[in-house]
Amino acid sequence: MIKRRLIWLLWLLATGGLYFFENNSGTRIVFAASLLVPLSSMLCALWCADRVRFDFSVPNVVQKGEQFGCEVKASGSVLLAGCIPCCAIIVENSLVGDRFESGVLSVDGKRTIQLSSAYCGSLLICFQFNTIEDRFGLFRFPLPKPVKIEKRVIVRPELQPVSFPGIEGDESGIDGAGMAAGRGTDPSAWSGIREYVPGDPVRQIHWKLSVKTDRMLIREVEGEASEGLLLWLETSPVEADPAAMDQAAEGLLSLSHSLCLENVPHRAAWFDQEREEVEQMVVRSSADFESMQEALLSARSAAGGKSAVGEEIPSGKVIRFDPKHIGDWPRRDLYPSHEHSGMAKQHDHQSAR
């Protein structure tokens, strides 16, 4: 911006010198336009600072690695044609703990910004509008009331077919790196979460999770579910590792999906670090899996956070997906390994200039 001001100042000196040595209508017009046009744009920016309105739209659900567009619009005054609002983007994946921040971006009427996520989870996309500048980029003015708009996008994983022999008939537990098996009290004694069906008591609705997932979910009363197999996702890794957390979540969802296709009822559970409570959902059908997948992807993990291991994980046959041990798993038929780098690859293009 300082460089542009210097260039403008030099241009004014040049046109002023031309006007001084050749005092005619042409040099007067050039000098007046060089001075008044940028000043008019600055006045437009000052006028629109407290009148501009913003909005943006994103898809609700995307696949991991798929590019999707964020269309940002600025409106509210015809004088916006003489200035350009500026914003910054913050994208956070609460499940894997990844975060991306952009620099200052201009929104010239309408702009589409292309994003993609290398990790599954729930993206909180936040646009922060703090300044507005003249069209020549000479001066930038703060908005009287900064605007912050947030929307969520669910990023679904790449589900892989998983084979796990003995999962139906082996009652002695399942052993392996990164998994824990055990037996104890009947897991049906622990309440779970499922999708609402007409006739369910309204008092059992899980309002917080329903709002977050945009699905009506209810808590199951004790003894309502009877599935003995539990898939547990560890959401408190020792160190922040988005790739490992992504692999653990994708592994659980891949196994759950394969079990669902084989008509094997089971449960999925995790400790949500944001709500500080265990969430458990019963999966008996494809509809149950879709509800469970969206709820799990919307959960929050935290490196070094609270772990429910040994305290709140229900007993029974438990398969534990721990990001710490993902790299040690020798069974690629149970969980295929993938390599990812970074969350947000940003591409953008302008429209409606």
Kindly state whether residues 249 and 282 are assigned to the same domain: yes
What is the extent of the structural domain holding 224? 187-328
Q: Is residue 293 part of a domain?
A: yes
Residue 166 belongs to a domain: no
Cβ contacts of residue 61 below 8 Å, gap of 6+? Answer: 153, 154, 155, 156
Digit-coded pLDDT (tens) for 71-93:
988 888 777 778 888 888 999 99
User: How many other C-beta atoms lie within 10 A of the C-beta of residue 161?
Assistant: 11
Residue 180 lies in a domain: no
CATH of the domain at 101: 2.60.40.1930
pLDDT tens sequence across 266-282: 889 888 888 778 888 88
Same domain assignment for residues 350 and 306: no
Q: Are residue 5 and residue 98 in the same domain, yes or no?
A: yes
Residue with tokens 């796990």: 164
Say if 171 falls within a structural domain: no
Verify that 319 and 350 share a domain, yes or no. no
Q: Are 303 and 352 part of one and the same domain?
A: no
Residue 191 shares a structural domain with residue 248: yes
CA nearest neighbour of 335 among 260, 240, 268, 244 = 244
pTM score, whole prediction: 0.68
What is the number of structural domains in the chain?
2
Percent of the chain at pLDDT > 90 equals 15
Q: Is 272 a domain residue?
A: yes
